[in-house]
């Protein structure tokens, strides 16, 4: 993947090496202002690395959409730590890093509230028909056609699939709005919420939000969605493979679903998506976890992981442990 644009001029890394200063690179768009305060004071941070910078790098802060494969690792013989923003490592060759003794750290929880807020905002907007109402006024239909009738959040059943950091927050949001919250997660306690089977969650829900890892095949095929109440609102801010675009399109056209909100897509960027422009659909460009506060927290955690490893300490949130 090509380096990001707009790199700032920095001291030559060869001079930094001779002076004993560690070199840390940013792979993908990494804001220097958000990482430098948490790196060792003598660090040379290179946000747009060239080949020589990569060869000298002891640490790397890596954005979610950047691939770290064996070929790239071969160009970074001094590397000791990869700090990956977010929690997914599907674009990092963790096995290759482990073979080289390179720690791979993630930043769990740094954007959980931002994602939960984004998902709940979609739920509320779809139930209240905000997008349709906006289009109704903007197109000059007010006073000519019947206006979209908003729904009520109060009293609806909200099914939260996945009761991890994000699921817990969004369940609390639903409860605060007077929704009946049910949870599906066979691996955790649901903190007072009813924990039900996947099938039961789909059948009972008025609104359903996904907060599970992907990689296990389609969780919500059309056959299962046919068991839902007509008009179910479904929001996916987790992984695109949990429910396919084709399934969602069929479910919308047939009336199984009354609204869909997506922040994740099978192919990104999704320049043309089958749901784009359909009524009752909200699409956002995989940005629910990229609020200003979330990005600051994510970069801080990544920089702190790099600092720990460069100081000979163990980075707390490490996967594929190379110790």
Q: Are residues 67 and 141 in the same domain?
A: no
Domain holding 59, by residue range, is 13-110+293-319
Q: Examine residue 8 and state whether it is found in any structural domain, yes or no.
A: no
140, exposed or middle or buried, with CB in 10 Å at 0-12, 13-18, 19+? exposed
pLDDT at site 15? 47
pLDDT at site 272? 85
Does residue 286 carry a catalytic annotation? yes
pLDDT along the chain (323 residues), means of 10: 40 51 95 95 93 94 91 96 90 94 94 97 98 94 94 98 96 98 94 96 98 91 97 97 97 97 91 91 94 95 96 88 47
Torsion of CA 107, 164, 293, 38, to 10 degrees: -20
Q: Are residues 134 and 269 in the same domain?
A: yes
Q: Are residues 101 and 125 in the same domain?
A: no
**Residue position matching structure tokens 């949990």:** 242
pLDDT at site 8? 40
CATH value at residue 23: 3.40.50.720
Catalytic residue selected from 168, 249, 286, 304: 286
pLDDT at site 270? 83
Catalytic residue selected from 80, 168, 184, 239: 239
Q: Are residues 238 and 120 in the same domain?
A: yes
Distance of CA 99 to CAs 24, 27, 70, 94, 136, Å? 21, 21, 10, 9, 58
pLDDT at site 320? 62
Q: Examine residue 315 and state whether it is found in any structural domain, yes or no.
A: yes
Whether residue 245 contacts residue 269, with contact meaning beta carbons closer than 8 Å, is answered with no
Q: Are residues 188 and 263 in the same domain?
A: yes
pLDDT at site 1? 43
pLDDT at site 268? 85
Residue 174, CB half-sphere, CA atoms under 13 Å: how many?
Answer: 29
Distance of CA 135 to CAs 142, 143, 232, 279, Å? 10, 14, 22, 10
Does residue 273 carry a catalytic annotation? no
Catalytic residue selected from 99, 194, 199, 268: 268
């Amino acid at each position: 993947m090509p380096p990001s644009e707009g790199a700032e001029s920095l001291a030559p890394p060869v001079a930094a090496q001779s002076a004993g200063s560690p070199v840390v690179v940013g792979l993908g768009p990494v804001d220097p202002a958000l990482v430098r305060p948490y790196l060792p004071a003598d660090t040379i941070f290179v946000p747009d690395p060239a080949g020589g910078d990569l060869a000298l790098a002891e640490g790397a802060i890596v954005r979610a959409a950047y691939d770290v494969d064996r070929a790239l690792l071969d160009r970074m013989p001094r590397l000791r730590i990869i700090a990956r923003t977010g929690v997914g490592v599907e674009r990092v060759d963790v096995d290759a890093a482990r073979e080289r003794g390179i720690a791979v750290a993630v930043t769990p929880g740094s954007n959980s509230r931002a994602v939960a807020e984004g998902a709940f905002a979609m739920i509320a907007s779809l139930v209240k028909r905000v997008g349709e109402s906006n289009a109704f006024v903007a197109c000059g239909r007010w006073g000519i056609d019947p206006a979209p009738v908003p729904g009520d959040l109060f009293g609806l059943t909200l099914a939260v699939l996945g009761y991890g950091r994000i699921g817990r927050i969004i369940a609390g949001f639903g409860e605060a709005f007077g929704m009946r919250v049910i949870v599906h997660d066979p691996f955790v306690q649901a903190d007072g919420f009813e924990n039900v089977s996947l099938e039961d969650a789909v059948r009972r829900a008025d609104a359903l939000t996904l907060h599970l890892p992907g990689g296990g095949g389609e969780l919500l095929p059309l056959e299962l969605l046919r068991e839902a109440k007509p008009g179910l609102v479904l929001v996916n801010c987790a992984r695109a493979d949990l429910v396919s675009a084709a399934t969602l399109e069929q479910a919308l056209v047939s009336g199984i679903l009354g609204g869909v909100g997506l922040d994740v897509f099978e192919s990104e960027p999704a320049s043309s998506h089958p749901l784009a422009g359909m009524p009752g659909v909200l699409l956002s460009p995989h940005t629910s976890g990229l609020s200003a506060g979330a990005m600051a927290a994510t970069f801080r955690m990544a920089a702190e992981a790099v600092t720990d490893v460069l100081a000979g300490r163990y980075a707390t949130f490490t996967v594929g442990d190379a110790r």
